[in-house]
Chain A
């Protein structure tokens, strides 16, 4: 059916209208004009179809031909995705560079993962086996740490009639032939195609129960992210969104990271490309690139492909989830994606809703975030997708439509704060207005794996910080010196929590990633300080004397001085704190 042809009649930026296209389908992929620009049908009215084009349309003429491909916008799923960098419609940027040097031209056609590379394939089925959709029939060691499982596509089941021996094969070699119940045969290769706008099927959803450990104190201990959860990460420019996303991509304990640079800076993607291969994962001692898939559609690349990039990313994530992996997606930034929707919607002359965004913005956001979750896959494994979506609210104003609507569909909200960023309090995650709906779901896990005391401490610290916020309003008016000693101690402790615990230096080798156990012990030291100092204050020791205790500096420098693997030093410090204040009290009694 690839011979249906339409005719370009109008061109407005990336939006092209074609005549004679009544038999095209909505969301069908098409190629436009002599240069064979890639596009997608977005609406059809009578015989006129509207196409959004994923490449620059400069030079296109009315009267050129629009060719049908008969298939919806799809990605190719198979080995070769990990460690690679793609544009918004899964074209590998490295190959594009090989074809066209340093700049991205139009008309490169639809290319995808490498079809010529030979993979070492282990076939795991034999003739006569009965296979269902989702069953694994071959495996490929894609990188040192990722075993790629090749699965029977959705809606296919049958009996294996032919099977190749294990050995070296390329992406499109036939590995297994299945005979369906109706005697039709299906050839299975190493890859499959999937339309990006459709969710990949699962057996059932599972409740969320385990955290995504990120090594970031303010997240793990205060506002945890769950495996299978959804997190919104809003912040104005300069608040450290991208650094936070990079930290999560580096250190979180997911098996696979899909990083979508959606409408952001080119140099940021270059930074990831240069840095990740050098960074070593603390858990596996292998380069982080061996678990990372990158999608880069920078701000100056065609806007329609930016809209598609989010779907391309989540579809790849779902594919790895189906193999039984825990996948985390970082989308930086969903605001740019929403703006792409707005821009295309404007060119389609649709009726705008809030701030020019189309009325379907909330439903599109919901669709995206609902593709996260903890699931049982078709082949019966437990796996998850966690979505961490950065939001770039204009002017840092969280009441704008994208932030507002994101808040409705995410369970965790890590608000980046301009004021904290100006004071170089990084990560600038506001410790009072952020929230995580996962604390209760994860409490059992924390109790069993860290300490049943952790969440109590967390609660206590947040209360102290809230009290500190209130007291600060008074301090702003009358100065700190007039506060009674117990309140001054709250300020002192809150300062310690902020400086010694919440602030974390992404560039410091020891502080960049912190284990949960260390986080817990750090909190415990701060708590010991507070309780001991409170005893002192109660017997009338002035806060100015307490402030002179040397242990305070020790607590503040834990993050740099005590490595993740020498936590016994923290127990010593804890004892020292108790001793120091005991001594102090004795002096006064």
Chain B
């Protein structure tokens, strides 16, 4: 029989402190019974002699030093897993919130997971067609990659993520072995609803598992929500061999929750008040994406974060970019211009695309086309700033062609409809069509034989 402790020593923010405790283990889950009715869960985050500091998942509101009784479970937070989780909705600690019973299973996993052995990883190579030209051609998503969307408040990141999930064509995935795991941290109710509806219209709802922590839910559950989601994803991918796409939103709320708890613990802050371990902590989420040599399944991770003040050097996007394999950056100016998706291609990047494109996966001209569009579009930026000073009329003829190229790339290539799903061939052909605005002599990154095969000499300039 486990002991019950009836007296708390101190309550501070989401933390409670108990003393006189024996046999508590670091990281274990505790149950707190408040006023003899409501049961809340917590986790031990520090042990000091016989003193224990725990964070309470549902928050400490309503707890006093003597109305709560605490029981130690001896185990870290675990969630039950089975195939039945597909189609279900849970809260940030894995309890059902869709009005149905909890999943019953003998399989329970620690939500913290364990690091994948680098030797056991399989290097992700296969291309995922998202149907977005900008992404497919220029920052190709690879099966098993972690590719975040860096957005800002009010931009169309939710639409983009939902459309990617809807359109994604993963090699080897059929309707039987494809699943979506959706983790929401501190999102608005309407955002959560938006995702549910768009999964519904796409007809994939029974392949979706959701872990939802809305903005008015306890902040402490924001820490566990992505971990529950990834634990479910690992189960689906590595036990059931499914191809899983995980969408996590919004990582900024997650990091803010981490900061709040850190400051309640009186830890030494580093940049902008975030704890010094933010990088290590984020990596324990992002690094759970990937593939294993011994299994068929894959976890492709698309975290969404809103850059505070659209600042890409803010610690959250900055540290994220150091861990993830590239990033898709949205741009406020393009968004204002009505370009959807407003992808700013210059700072965007996919680190894994080099091995997932080319004749074997997409087409032989893909790599050169990508490199050429980047180089030419970066030149467009220089010419634009020049033309702001001297006016477009004083530009040289070639410079004016560059401006045309830039306009058309943004207006026809990057921009596309909310239901438009382009195949990779359509995308690459479109890329060539737009590149053909520039004279052949400007295509300095292209192999001659590719120019001969794809360049449109008849295009009006």
Instruction: Write the residues of chain A forming the contact surface with B, with a CB cutoff of 8 angstroms.
Output: 9-13, 56-63, 85, 93-94, 96-97, 100-105, 236-238, 261, 263, 265-267, 269-271, 273-274, 296, 298-301, 303, 336, 339-340, 342-343, 346, 349, 352, 355-356, 392, 394-397, 422-424, 475-481, 499, 507, 556
Residue on A with the closest CB to B47? A11
Q: A93-B117, A103-B113 are in contact. Are A238 and B327 (CB under 8 A)?
A: yes
B26 and A59 contacting across the interface, CB-CB below 8 Å: yes
User: Do the beta carbons of A301 and B354 come within 8 Å of each other?
Assistant: no
Contact mask for chain B residues 423-450; partner A; CB cutoff 8 A; 1 contact, 0 none: 0000000000000000000001100000
Closest 8 CB pairs of A and B: A395-B313, A299-B283, A356-B270, A58-B27, A237-B321, A300-B287, A102-B120, A423-B378
Give the complex CA separation of A10 and B321 in angstroms: 34
Asked whether, in the complex, the Cβ of B119 is within 8 Å of the Cβ of A97, the reply is yes
Residues of B within 8 A of A102 (CB): 116-117, 120, 238, 292, 294-295
Quick one: which of B280, B322, B354 contacts A343, CB cutoff 8 A? B280
Which residues from chain A contact B321 at a C-beta distance below 8 Å? Answer: 236-238
The smallest beta-carbon distance between A258 and chain B, in angstroms, is: 16
B352, CB-defined interface residue at 8 Å:
yes
Count of chain B residues with Cβ under 8 Å from any Cβ of A?
A: 82
**Known contacts A237-B322, A261-B118; can you find 10 more A-B pairs with CB under 8 A?**
A12-B48, A59-B26, A59-B28, A60-B25, A61-B26, A265-B323, A267-B144, A301-B115, A339-B279, A479-B386
Known contacts A355-B271, A356-B269, A394-B315; is-contact A273 B323 (Cβ 8 Å)? no
Binds A, one of B126-134, B387-395, B414-422, B451-459: B387-395
Residue of B nearest to A19 (CB): B49
User: Could you list 26 A-B pairs, sorted by A, with CB under 8 Å?
Assistant: A10-B46, A11-B47, A61-B47, A62-B24, A85-B119, A102-B117, A102-B295, A103-B120, A104-B114, A238-B347, A269-B121, A270-B123, A271-B355, A299-B283, A299-B287, A299-B323, A300-B286, A340-B280, A346-B270, A349-B268, A355-B271, A356-B270, A395-B318, A422-B346, A424-B371, A424-B375
User: In whole Å, how far is B349's beta carbon from the nearest beta carbon of chain A?
Assistant: 5
* Chain B residues whose C-beta falls within 8 Å of the C-beta of A336 in the assembled complex: 279
Which residues of A have CB within 8 Å of B24? 61-62
On whether the beta carbons of A303 and B277 are closer than 8 Å, the reply is yes
Is there an interface contact between A269 and B118, defined as CB atoms closer than 8 Å? yes
Interface status of B326 (Cβ within 8 A of chain A): yes
Min CB distance, B38 to chain A, in Å? 27
Residue contact B276 to A356, C-beta cutoff 8 Å:
yes
Given the known interface contacts A422-B346, A476-B385, the answer about A10 and B269 at a Cβ–Cβ threshold of 8 Å is no
A100 to B48, CA, bound (A): 32
Q: By the criterion CB–CB under 8 Å, are B270 and A267 in contact? A: no
Say which residue of B47, B118, B269 sits within 8 Å of A266 (CB atoms): B118
- The reply to whether B375 and A423 contact each other, CB–CB distance below 8 Å, is yes
Q: Cβ of A394: which chain B residues have Cβ within 8 Å of it? A: 271, 313, 315, 318-319
A104 to B284, CA, bound (A): 13
Chain A contacts of B354 at CB under 8 A?
Answer: 507
Cβ of B267 < 8 Å from any Cβ of A? Answer: yes
User: Is B118 a contact partner of A273 (Cβ separation < 8 A)?
Assistant: yes
Give the nearest-CB partner of A266 in chain B. B118
Residue B374 lies at the interface, judged by CB distance under 8 Å to chain A: yes
The answer to whether B276 and A58 have CB atoms under 8 Å apart is no
The residue on A at minimum CB distance from B265 is A12
**Cβ-defined contact, A266 with B279, below 8 A:** no
Tell me if B290 and A299 are in contact (CB < 8 A). no
Q: Nearest B residue to A303 by beta-carbon distance? A: B280
Query: Judging by beta carbons under 8 Å apart, are B276 and A94 in contact?
Result: no
Q: Could you say which residues of chain A place their CB within 8 Å of the CB of B121?
A: 266-267, 269-270
Residue numbers in B under 8 Å from A103 (CB-CB): 113-117, 120
**A479, B390: Cβ atoms closer than 8 Å:** yes
Q: Do A93 and B119 have beta carbons less than 8 Å apart?
A: yes
CB–CB A296/B118 < 8 A: yes
Measured between alpha carbons, how far is A355 from B50 in the docked complex, in Å?
A: 33
Query: Does B22 have its Cβ within 8 Å of any Cβ on chain A?
Result: yes
Q: Give bound CA distance, A481 to B399, whole Å.
A: 11
B122 interface residue (CB < 8 Å to A): yes
A-chain residues with CB within 8 Å of residue B110 when the two chains form the complex: 58
The answer to whether A356 and B268 touch (CB under 8 A), given A394-B315, A507-B354, is yes
Residues of chain A with a CB closer than 8 A to B295's CB? 102
Q: How far is the CB of A510 from chain B (nearest CB, A)?
A: 12
Give CA–CA (A36, B119) in the complex, Å: 24
Contact A300 B284 (CB under 8 A): yes
A238 to B445, CA, bound (A): 20
Is there contact, CB below 8 Å, between A237 and B318?
Answer: yes
Partner among A62, A94, A300, A343 whose Cβ is within 8 Å of the Cβ of B115:
A300
How far is it, in angstroms, between the C-alpha of A336 and the C-alpha of B312 when the chains are bound? 19
CB of B124 within 8 Å of the partner chain: yes
B386 near A475: Cβ-Cβ < 8 Å: yes
Q: Are B123 and A267 in contact (CB-based, < 8 A)?
A: yes
Cβ-defined contact, A479 with B395, below 8 A = yes
- Determine how close the nearest CB of chain B comes to the CB of A48; give it in whole angstroms: 10
Contact of A299 among B46, B268, B280 (CB under 8 A): B280
Interface residues in B356-398 by Cβ distance below 8 A to A read 367, 371, 374-375, 378-379, 382, 385-386, 389-390, 394-396
Q: Does B333 contact A (CB under 8 A)?
A: no
Residues of chain B within 8 A (CB-CB) of A61 are: 23-26, 47
User: Please, which residue of chain B has its CB at the minimum distance from the CB of A98?
Assistant: B119
Q: Is the CB of B47 within 8 A of A10?
A: yes
Q: Report the minimal beta-carbon distance from B376 to chain A, rounded to whole angstroms.
A: 10
CA of A424 to CA of B313, assembled, Å: 20
Q: CA of A10 to CA of B25 in the docked complex: distance in angstroms?
A: 10
A392 to chain B, nearest CB (A): 6
Mask of B59-80 contacts with A, CB within 8 angstroms, 1/0: 0000000000000000010000
A338 to B283 alpha-carbon distance, docked (Å): 16
Q: Which residues of B contact A507 (CB under 8 A)?
A: 354, 367
Shortest C-beta distance, A427 to chain B (Å), equals 14
Q: Is the pair B378, A424 in contact by a Cβ cutoff of 8 Å?
A: yes
Interfacial chain A residues near B119, Cβ < 8 Å: 85, 93-94, 96-97, 270, 273
Give every chain A residue within 8 A of B267 (Cβ-Cβ). Answer: 346
CB pair B76–A58 under 8 Å, yes or no, is yes
Known interface pairs A303-B280, A336-B279. Does A270 touch B122 (Cβ–Cβ under 8 Å)?
Answer: yes
